[in-house]
Structures are given as C-alpha cells and as structure tokens.
Chain A
Amino acid sequence: MRDIILKGDKNGFSVLMDDKANYVNAFKKLKELIMQQNVESTNENDDVIYFTVKTGRRLLTEEQKSGIREFFDKYPQLELKDIQSDVEDKAKVAEVLKANKVNIESGIVRSGQKLDYEGDLIFLGTLHRDSQICTTGSIYVLGEVNGILQAGYPDNTKAAIFGNLKGIDQLRIADVIEIVTDDNKDEFQAGKFAFIDDLHSISVDDLTNYKDRLNDLGKRTG
C-alpha cells in the first residue's frame, strides 16, 4: 500500500497517512505531493484549498503536528483545517470513561466524612447529618440521606438528584444551593427528583414527571 493517499470531497482535500508506514517517509511523501500540487496551481486568484490530514490509527506527537502545520504555513493558498486521528490517547479515554462512570456506594457516611466521585452515583447507604457526598454527575438515592448532596460539581447544570430526598438537609447542583427548612421540607419526599430549572434555581418534581422534564433539560442544555 502506498504511504499516503490524496482524496477529494466537497470540503476540500484529505490526505490519508497510512498508519503502518514509517512516519518520516510518509511525511516526506506528503511534502512531495503538496509541492507538486502547488507547482500546478500558482494562480493567486484561486480559492484557498483546504486540507485535512488523517492519520488513521496513529497518534501524532505535538512535535509532529507542528511540523505539518509549519509546512502548510509556507503555502498561502493551502490551508490545513485539521489533523485527525481515529484513536485517542489513554489518559483522555480514561478521563471520558471516568466522567461517564456509574459509582455505587453502600454503607454509612458518618458525620465529618466527605465522599467525592467522578461521574454518577447510585447511593444505597445512609448519609448522616454533617456529612457530604460530591459527584460530577447525577445522584440516585435508594438509601437514606440526612446530610448534604452535591451533584454536577462544579458546573454541570444537567445533573440532577433522584429518589428518596426525605430528611435531606441541603441539595447542591452545580453552583446552586437549596437549603431544606421547615417551610419547604414537604417538597422533599421519596420518589422525587431535584434539578436546575429555567430560572437557574433548584426545582423538585415527582419522578413520574421526569420524562416531560427531560425534554426541557435536553432543549436547554443542547
């Protein structure tokens, strides 16, 4: 197979670099290819030609990427749109997986203890007064909660808190804090969910209405 393939579509040209080829050779071939193209189109009135470099299952280092960018910078008629790869590096993947992870916690969270999670949490245990649970995603409460629940930390307004909210002291979603007092504690019962409404304050509704609300949540958050 050839080291590089040039393809054209309505968005411009794509250069496919074979991921099995030696990178130095492939880059050399890319340079030769572009130089040929350039020789053939020297008319300054031509539109700018867009290029996308696709590296397949190869992940370029920052040095390699800047090498390609510098090369394209030499040709004012050619513009490098993007350098794309079919793969992601492990750290980035781990981060994404973590953010989408569903954690499960049982047992007692005691006064003075604070648990932090990346992603969502299914809480089966008991959360005592003066303790706190903090997640970047949503929280589903199947146990008992008396302390403080923080969902969507620090700024995920899509997050919500579902389930048994009876007896809770404080709910926090993203940057909004709701204090449960004698006046509003009747709203916080089992089978409810709390979310951030259009006015950017915390609302509580029956779990049965979640589907209707989901639409609102989806529209707002895109």
Chain B
Amino acid sequence: MGISIVVTSGKGGVGKTTTTANVSTVLASLGKKVCMVDLDIGLRNLDAVMGLTNRIVYDIVDVAQHRVVVSQALVRDPRFEDNLYLLAASQFADKYVLDKDSVGNIINELKQRFDFVMIDCPAGIEYGFQNAVSIADGALVVTNPEVASVSDADRVVGILENMNMPITPHLIINRIRKNMINDGTSMKIDDIVNHLGIPLLGIVVDEDKVISASNTGRTVAFDEYSDAGRSYQNIARRMLGENIPLNLFDHQKKVGFWGRVFGRK
C-alpha cells in the first residue's frame, strides 16, 4: 500500500504542477511506482507539462462517474517503463462533479497499486482544494520567496495542521532568484522556514530551463547541468529517506577568478 501526497500552495503560479511533475519523474526513475493525479479540474496543466496531452482518452471525471474503471483512464508515460502513470483532470466538466467520497475512492484504489500517488492540487482553498487535501496522507507545500506567496502558504499550513495528516506537511521553496539572494533583496530562506514552522524538504532556484523543459514536455530534473533539476533530484531522494544536506549555500557561492579559469565544468 502506497502513500498519497498532495502538492499544494494556496497561491497560483508558484510551481505546484512543475514540482509534481519533477518529483514524480525522479521517483519513477529511482524505481518507485508513481501515479500523478491532476485535480485541477477545468484548468488541467500536468498533462501538458509532461507532454502526455495527446495520449489522454479518459479522465478522472469519467472514473468518478463510473464510465470507465481507474486502470482504463491511466496514461502511461513511455519514458519510465512501467513506473509512471498520469490520471488526467477533465478540461470540460466543472469541478463540482467531484466530491470527497469519489476522489477518496479513486485515490485509495491507486494507493493499492502504486508506491506514491502524487496529487496536483488546484490553487485557492475552496472546493477543489478541500477535495484534494482531505484524502492525502501528506502534503508538499510549495512557496516562493515573496510575501504574498508565504502568506498564502501560511494559511494553507494552518488548514493542513487542523487535518492531522499522518505525515506532517513539508515545505519546498521554489523560484529562488540567485541574484536577489546575492543582493540581499530577497526574503531569506531561514526566515521563511522559521515563519512557516514546518520541515524544509528542499529549495529550487528559478531557471529558464525549467520553463523551456516543460514547454517541450520534459522535466528539468534530468538536465544534469541544471541547478533546479538537481534540487528536484535531491527532493525526491529526501522523500525516500536519503540524508542529503540542504545545499543552501551552493547557490550563493561566488566563483572567484581562479575558480573561473580552472574550475569550470
């Protein structure tokens, strides 16, 4: 029996879908059986980021309304052998066709078959969010180093704490701007972690490669020259219990003259 983990943030555009895609693909590449579930009904993106849109035949609404069984609606990602599947959201139905029971049944069925069920949560804290978080065993709270995003994450953590999930929510700070950290104009990582008071799972720098990779239906995690990609690798490994130190300062390290001459990768 696997575990279900919801990726949530409150605020939109902080990188929930990107995080879901990257963490899921890394877990799959490490040999775990992973199913991604997109619960952003009506505004589905996860399939596009994964480059799987053309393979979707049935979606989660078809399953919830018993037109097909779960296994028929799962889309296999051919790049990860038999390890990675996607249950897409519906782009046509509205979100009120799902309720906690129907979503719960689907997730529980998937937990029998997969090690990880990664749930991509819609933005906001309304109906779709409630459905997504009510059935999850754990949560990844994604935030950006900016006041609005941290404030929404705070609200979400408060709601999650009241739900008493079996696994405590963990934090991912996404879209860190290296130059702003170096200037000292960004919110400090330590301040955000102290403020939210939940364990930090990883930090991810803001990179053009993240966007260009998802535009072509790939995930940045397998780009070995990408800092963000390496961060996602580390996050997934930490989820599996590996003890990888947080490389907070790797991102800030300025390369000196001799380093530039001799130390170039």
Contacts and interface: CB of A to CB of B under 8 A. Distances in A.
Interface of A: 108, 110-113, 126, 128-130
B151 A108 contact: no
Interface string B144-155: 000000011011
A112 B155 CA distance: 6
A128 B157 CA distance: 12
B158 interface: yes
Interface string B130-167: 00000000000000000000011011011101000000
A126 B157 CA distance: 14
A130 B157 CA distance: 14
Contacts of B154: 110-111, 128-130
Contacts of B155: 110-112, 130
Contacts of B158: 110-113
B12 interface: no
B197 A111 contact: no
Contacts of A108: 197
A126 B158 CA distance: 13
B130 to A, nearest CB: 14
Nearest to A108: B197
Contacts of B79: none
A168 to B, nearest CB: 16
A130 B147 CA distance: 12
A56 B151 CA distance: 59
5 contacts: A110-B158, A111-B158, A126-B195, A126-B197, A128-B154
B151, B157, B158, B159 pick with most chain A CB within 10 angstroms: B158
B164 to A, nearest CB: 14
Nearest 6 interchain pairs by C-beta:
A110-B158, A111-B154, A111-B155, A112-B155, A110-B154, A113-B158
Contact of A130 (B151, B159, B161, B195): B151
Nearest to B194: A126
A145 to B, nearest CB: 13
A108, A110, A126, A130 pick with most chain B CB within 10 angstroms: A110
B188 to A, nearest CB: 16
Given A111-B151, A111-B152, A128-B195, 13 more contacts: A110-B155, A110-B157, A110-B161, A111-B154, A112-B155, A112-B158, A112-B159, A126-B195, A128-B151, A128-B154, A129-B151, A129-B154, A130-B154
Contacts of A129: 151, 154
A9 to B, nearest CB: 60
A113 B160 CA distance: 12
Contacts of A111: 151-152, 154-155, 158
A108 B154 CA distance: 10
Nearest to B159: A112
